[in-house]
Amino acid sequence: MLDIVGKRNLWFTLSGITILVGLISLFTFGLNLGIDFTGGTIYELKFSQPVAVDQVRQSLAEMDIENPVIQKTGDDIIFIRTKIMDKDEQQQLIDQLSQKLSKAEVLRIEMVGPVIGEQLTRQALLALAVASLGIILYVSFRFEFKFAIAAILAVLHDALIVLGIFSILQREIDASFVAAILTIVGYSLTDTIVIFDRIRENIRLGKKESFTDLVNRSIYQSLTRSIYTPLTVLFTLVALYFFGGSTINNFALAMIIGVVSGTYSSIFNASPVVVAWKELEARKA
Amino acid sequence: MRLGNTIKFAVTLILLAVSIYLIHPLDKTIKLGLDLQGGTHVVLKLKETAETPINQEAMNRVIEVIERRVNELGVTEPIVQSQGKDQVIVELPGVKDSKQALDTIGKTALLEFKEVNPDGSLGDTVLTGASLKKAQVGYDQYQQPIISIEFDSKGAKEFGKITEKSVGKPLAIVLDNKVLSAPIVQEPITGGKAQITGNRSVEEAQKIALLLRAGALPVPVDIAEIRTVGPTLGADSIAKSVNAGIVGTILVVIFMLLVYRLPGLVANFTLIFYILLVLASMVLLKATLTLPGLAGLILSIGMAVDTNILIFERFKEETRAGKSLRPALDAGFERAFATVIDSHTTTFITALILFWLGTGTIKGFAVTLMLGIVINLFTAITVTKNILDLIVGVDAIRKIKVLWAVRREEKC
């Protein structure tokens, strides 16, 4: 049988290094925050004829629009991100581009003021805090406090890894990213709890063995489940990533990273943390 | 027992038929969010003034006035509702009408009649538009558009007094601190009727008349957020999501068949049932399907079979431990139940928090996720168990070990 618990320091180190790399990136490069957080205006315009980014850049420069981000998302589709522009300014921009280049159809315009961004950040942090608290309470109630803390650590591990990778990739973060993180928090626990559940059952069966052996056995017994359940979720996420379109792309990516990390952390981190904690207590006593 | 199973299965089939009836045709029955059908979503933030604090009363008045404005514009199925203490959400389906609506939504539309000082600057406000009864566009003798206004009886009396006092002097008509016109009062106006002239287009006159009819906002508002999605992108998002959903479902279905064979086939049937039930309950609850909601639904397809995987793995384990098929199946369901409840509860907690704290389309995501979890408990446990009980009762099927993905040496 695999001795997962015995090699726990290796798993903890591995997770630690990954998180550290992510944190370094977070502190040096930060996150690529979208307008949901920073405020600003984005346009997705479909032109009647193919256009080049340079043409758009030049036209925008003539309108004195500072530092726009311009991307081509299709032959005739252009994505523009600017500072906050009111409705009249937006109309002006579209009219100008239509006149200078070719007729522009509005696929999407989003303007977010600064108030909303602050609100979203506050809500995201509050949601994460409340979710963590709710989970600690529930797991403490159904299992025990040590399990709850181990579960939360595993989940925060997943959230940090997603944030870190998004920082490294400089992928844009929007409101749906917040939803993804919270869903990861909820879902990554599923696997952890399946193993905890097995530990609880094995404790009740009362076979004579050390706690370490019991946890190892529980992880091993749940292994197929721990791999299959996220696998089916990954099937749908990968389909969303490749076929779901640009708006849903980042959401799917965040979820994919979160689910993979969640699988790892439930097998290699959560239960081993409980064992480490119990051993530490035993040594002190 | 057997009869009970047959009845249960009949109930399942009836539910299935009802779901299909409810959601057919899907494009007519399910309410689509603005990000899928196209339209404009506006968030207004109320600004406190020295005179008016932001309270429930001010909020209600703002909603009332804005509702009247968008209704007068003829926007189909607009939604105006409060969000938090000081924000109002306005949802305007369809892009064509919303352009015009956006022009009027954020306007305070405070109409004031002001005295004009000898130096031409504006003096005190002598009357506001609060006692206005009517406002409509007409034409003067030069075919120039004018706005005819009419006061209620109280306003008419006051207007009479004011005009009496200012005969021979100009009286400025001001909308949101902008002078619309400043005619010289020829004689006292006692009938409560007046006209706002000035060089403006018919559209402009109509806009002003509409604003005056709908009334003024008690406090000024800021446009905090505007999101417009064109119908092309909305349709494209639906098509792409449906594609992703089909591909994802096919992958899951193949996986379940390969790994679990006959029980996998049953799980696949209940998975389809699950999707139909989620959609049907969205129709029943009149919930709005947004793009994140659609993503949530697709995601939940992958999560829904988790329950069956937990049960079937447990079932396999029990057969390995020497149990024969039927008791192993019972044990699988029984033992996996606690695990399923515990593991689903945590996802439900986070979805609930998302619903509570999230705004706009994210709420839609939380709704599908929560619905999915609850419905999944029914389809993956109750319905799957019922069908498997029925099948396992047929000796001929029970004896074909290969169908159950259990090893040969095991008893069946």
Please indicate whether, in this complex, the C-beta atoms of A244 and B241 are within 8 angstroms of each other. yes
Whole-number pLDDT of residue B402: 80
Closest alpha carbon within chain B to A88:
B103
- What end-to-end distance do the CA atoms of chain B give, in Å? 20
Identify which of B351, B404, B352, B340 has the alpha carbon closest to the alpha carbon of residue B378. B340
Q: What gap in Å lies between CA B49 and CA B229, rounded to an integer? A: 33
Chain A residues in contact with B102 by the CB 8 A cut-off are 87
Q: Tell me what percent of the residues of chain A surpass a pLDDT of 90.
A: 69
Whole-number pLDDT of residue B412: 46
Quickly state the pLDDT bin for B97 (edges 50, 70, 90): low
Whole-number pLDDT of residue B358: 77
Give the model confidence (pLDDT) of B198-213 as tens digits: 878 888 888 888 888 8
**What SS3 state is found at B285?**
coil
Instruction: Judge whether B229 is closer than 8 Å to chain A, CB to CB.
Output: yes
Give the model confidence (pLDDT) of B330-356 as tens digits: 999 998 888 888 888 888 888 898 888
Chain B closest-CA separation from residue A284 CA (Å): 32
Q: What gap in Å lies between CA A26 and CA A35, rounded to an integer? A: 19
Q: Is residue A131 part of a domain?
A: yes
Yes or no: say if B112 and B129 are a contact pair by the CB < 8 Å rule: yes
Q: Are residues A144 and A279 in the same domain?
A: yes
Identify which of B376, B287, B330 has the alpha carbon closest to the alpha carbon of residue A232. B376
- Statement: residue B411 has pLDDT above 60: no
DSSP B170: B
Integer Rg of chain B from CA: 32
Helices B361-376 and B231-284 sit at what angle, rounded to 10 degrees? 40
Quickly state the pLDDT bin for A1 (edges 50, 70, 90): low
- Statement: residue B279 has pLDDT above 90: yes
Dihedral in degrees, nearest 10, Cα atoms B5, B10, B13, B18 = -130
Helices B291-320 and B361-376 sit at what angle, rounded to 10 degrees? 20
- Statement: residue B197 has pLDDT above 90: no
Chain A closest-CA separation from residue B129 CA (Å): 27
Mean pLDDT over residues A95-99, rounded?
A: 91
Yes or no: say if A42 and A246 are a contact pair by the CB < 8 Å rule: no
Give the model confidence (pLDDT) of A18-76 as tens digits: 999 999 999 999 999 999 999 999 999 999 999 899 989 999 998 888 889 999 888 88
Closest alpha carbon within chain A to B365:
A179
Give the model confidence (pLDDT) of A219-264 as tens digits: 999 999 999 999 999 999 999 999 998 888 999 999 999 999 999 9
Whole-number pLDDT of residue A43: 93
- What end-to-end distance do the CA atoms of chain A give, in Å? 30
Nearest to A105 among B232, B310, B348 (CB): B232
DSSP B382: I
Q: What gap in Å lies between CA B194 and CA B150, rounded to an integer? A: 6
Q: Are residues A90 and A227 in the same domain?
A: no
Identify which of B99, B125, B97, B132 has the alpha carbon closest to the alpha carbon of residue B211. B132
Residue A66 region by backbone torsions, left for phi larger than 0, else alpha for psi between -120 and 50, else beta:
beta
Q: Is residue A2 part of a domain?
A: no
Instruction: Judge whether B309 is closer than 8 Å to chain A, CB to CB.
Output: yes
Q: Tell me what percent of the residues of chain B surpass a pLDDT of 90.
A: 31
Nearest to B240 among A175, A179, A245 (CB): A245
Q: Are residues A225 and A128 in the same domain?
A: yes
Yes or no: say if B274 and B304 are a contact pair by the CB < 8 Å rule: yes
Yes or no: say if A53 and A78 are a contact pair by the CB < 8 Å rule: yes
Quickly state the pLDDT bin for B190 (edges 50, 70, 90): confident
Q: Which uninterrupted H or E stretch holds B64? A: helix B56-73
Q: Is residue A1 part of a domain?
A: no
Chain B closest-CA separation from residue A285 CA (Å): 32
Give the model confidence (pLDDT) of A170-191 as tens digits: 999 988 898 899 889 888 888 8
Whole-number pLDDT of residue B124: 84
Q: Are residues A59 and A186 in the same domain?
A: no
Q: Are residues A44 and A29 in the same domain?
A: no
Long-range contacts of A133-140 (CB under 8 A, 24+ apart): A134/B349, A134/B350, A134/B353, A135/A185, A135/A189, A135/B346, A135/B349, A135/B350, A138/B345, A138/B346, A138/B349, A139/A189, A139/A193, A139/A196, A139/B346
Whole-number pLDDT of residue B98: 66
pTM for the model stands at 0.88
Dihedral in degrees, nearest 10, Cα atoms B117, B123, B127, B132 = 80
Residue where one domain finishes, among candidates A112, A136, A169: A112
Tell me the pairing of strands B288-289 and B31-32: parallel
Residue where one domain finishes, among candidates A112, A135, A154: A112
Q: Tell me what percent of the residues of chain A surpass a pLDDT of 70.
A: 100
Residue where one domain finishes, among candidates A112, A128, A150: A112
Residue in the structure block whose two tokens are 């109930």:
B11
Nearest to B232 among A46, A176, A228 (CB): A46
Mean pLDDT over residues B174-203, rounded?
A: 85
Instruction: Judge whether B242 is closer than 8 Å to chain A, CB to CB.
Output: no
Q: What gap in Å lies between CA B296 and CA B288, rounded to an integer? A: 13
Tell me the pairing of strands B39-46 and B87-93: antiparallel
Integer Rg of chain A from CA: 24
Whole-number pLDDT of residue B96: 65
Fold for the domain defined by B2-31+230-404:
Multidrug efflux transporter AcrB transmembrane fold (1.20.1640)
Domains of chain A: total: 2
Q: Are residues A23 and A94 in the same domain?
A: no
- Domain with residue A256: its CATH number is 1.20.1640.10
Give the model confidence (pLDDT) of B113-172 as tens digits: 888 888 888 888 888 888 888 888 988 888 888 888 888 888 888 888 888 888 888 888
Q: Are residues A164 and A274 in the same domain?
A: yes
> What range does the domain containing A63 cover?
40-112
What CATH number was assigned to the domain covering residues B39-229? 3.30.1360.200
Chain B closest-CA separation from residue A210 CA (Å): 23
Whole-number pLDDT of residue B232: 87
Q: Are residues A93 and A149 in the same domain?
A: no
Cβ partners under 8 Å of residue B98, min gap 6: B39, B40, B75, B92, B228
Domain boundaries, chain B: 2-31+230-404, 39-229
Nearest to A232 among B252, B344, B353 (CB): B252
Identify which of B325, B324, B329, B322 has the alpha carbon closest to the alpha carbon of residue B308. B329
Q: ipTM value of the model? A: 0.91
Q: Is residue A243 part of a domain?
A: yes
Q: Are residues A82 and A105 in the same domain?
A: yes
- The values of phi and psi at residue B95, to 5°, are -90, -30
Whole-number pLDDT of residue B95: 65
Nearest to A179 among B229, B244, B354 (CB): B354
Chain B residues in contact with A234 by the CB 8 A cut-off are 302
Mean pLDDT over all residues of chain A?
Answer: 91
Cite the DSSP H helix spans in A4-113.
8-28, 35-38, 53-62, 87-100
Yes or no: say if B235 and B227 are a contact pair by the CB < 8 Å rule: no
Q: Tell me what percent of the residues of chain B surpass a pLDDT of 70.
A: 96
**What SS3 state is found at A245?**
coil
Nearest to A127 among B233, B252, B353 (CB): B353
* Token reading at B44: 């207004």
Yes or no: say if B308 and B257 are a contact pair by the CB < 8 Å rule: no
Quickly state the pLDDT bin for B283 (edges 50, 70, 90): very high
Quickly state the pLDDT bin for B2 (edges 50, 70, 90): low
Mean pLDDT over all residues of chain B?
Answer: 87
Dihedral in degrees, nearest 10, Cα atoms B395, B399, B405, B410 = 120
Please indicate whether, in this complex, the C-beta atoms of B299 and A237 are within 8 angstroms of each other. yes
Q: Are residues A182 and A255 in the same domain?
A: yes
Identify which of A210, A190, A207 has the alpha carbon closest to the alpha carbon of residue A270. A190
Cis upstream peptide for B25 (omega within 30°): yes
Please indicate whether, in this complex, the C-beta atoms of B255 and A244 are within 8 angstroms of each other. no
Q: Per mean pLDDT, which of A107-116, A164-173, B290-299 is the most reliable?
A: A164-173
Is B170 exposed, middle or buried (CB count within 10 Å of its CB: 0-12, 13-18, 19+)? Answer: middle
Identify which of B23, B24, B217, B255 has the alpha carbon closest to the alpha carbon of residue B108. B217
Instruction: Judge whether B96 is closer than 8 Å to chain A, CB to CB.
Output: no
Closest alpha carbon within chain B to A36:
B225
Q: Is residue A3 part of a domain?
A: no
Please indicate whether, in this complex, the C-beta atoms of B222 and A179 are within 8 angstroms of each other. no
Q: Are residues A124 and A90 in the same domain?
A: no
The two counts, helices (H) then strands (E), for chain B are 14, 13
Please indicate whether, in this complex, the C-beta atoms of A179 and B345 are within 8 angstroms of each other. no
Instruction: Judge whether B117 is closer than 8 Å to chain A, CB to CB.
Output: no
CB contacts under 8 A, B 39-68 vs A, are 43, 45
Q: What gap in Å lies between CA A187 and CA A233, rounded to an integer? A: 10
Closest alpha carbon within chain A to B369:
A183
Q: Are residues A185 and A94 in the same domain?
A: no
- Statement: residue B107 has pLDDT above 90: no
- Domain with residue A74: its CATH number is 3.30.70.3400
